[in-house]
Amino acid sequence: MTILLGLVVTLGCIIGGYVAMGGKVSVLIQPWEFVIIGGSAFGTFIIANPMKVIKDAGKAIMEAFKGATPKTEDYLNVLGVLFELMREVRGKSRGEVEAHVDNPEESEIFQKYPSVLKDKELTTFICDYVRLILIGNAKTHEVEALMDEEIQTLTHDRMKSYHAMVAVAEALPALGIVAAVLGVIKAMGAIDQSPEVLGHLIGAALVGTFAGIFLSYAVVAPVATKVKIVRSHGVRLFVMVKQTLLAFMNGAMPQVALEYGRKTISSHERPNIDTMEEAVLNGGAAAEKKAA
């Protein structure tokens, strides 16, 4: 929503200022200039990236428009899953706990938290490291190094679409010049026409330069930055899981281990201790109630 608001403000100020200076909006309506710039930008985007990145870029843009960052209830639901799993590890046999991590879709614990189960990467991350804890001979520092490596890989994969969009943003001003040059070539072909006609053609050509710069710095680059912010916030869930499970491996009680994880949450979304305890003790219901 903030992206749309920002675009409205940006366009309003640019077009409004242009009109206030006496400019004619009709001169800016050059659809073929935008076709040249937009089409060539999309074409180079396809050339430079594998299909997985292209599809992920579409998904990332949708996430950016929706502002799909983890909310307080998302953090609480993940903490709820971790609390119940840690409690199971302390109080039940290895076989009983393995049933939850081997098949989370049928686990009573994960079924209480559908938002966690819906995130396949996060669910797999939790299950893999709880399984390592169950094995019993994994050293904490080795598990921490492995977690760091996996989180770094996840971050790299999630940022591929961001880097691809940044590359397009950097190319757009040059593609705008290409469109402008083509417009000038067209104008030179009509050099024998009246100054009025020739001036109109040159003005239309310059719209290409304007469009390339505008699309680069006012549309694609800001959206790419928003993608980076949204994706970075998503990785924080994995960091929270990491700190919680490491504290548990070092001997902390489940309630204390949750506090290690809670401290990794941004202050803007971090629940207080009472809210966290109420949420995890009531199987996520309290978290949803607090969010509402």
pLDDT digits (tens, 9 = 90+) for 3-59: 888 889 988 898 889 888 888 888 888 888 899 999 999 999 999 999 999 999 999
Residues 6+ apart with CB under 8 A from 140: 246, 249, 250
Dist. CA 265–CA 189, nearest whole Å? 62
Q: What is the pLDDT of residue 286?
A: 45
pLDDT band at 283 (very low <50, low <70, confident <90, very high): low
Of 23, 45, 28, nearest in space to 208 by CA: 28
- Report pLDDT digits (tens) over 121-142: 999 999 999 999 888 777 889 9
Q: What is the DSSP letter of 215?
A: I
pTM: 0.82
Asked whether the beta carbons of 250 and 46 are under 8 A apart, the reply is no
Asked whether the beta carbons of 46 and 171 are under 8 A apart, the reply is no
Q: What is the pLDDT of residue 288?
A: 45
Q: What is the pLDDT of residue 287?
A: 41
* Mean pLDDT calculated for residue range 55-72: 91
* Mean pLDDT calculated for residue range 165-186: 91
Statement: residue 212 has pLDDT above 60 = yes
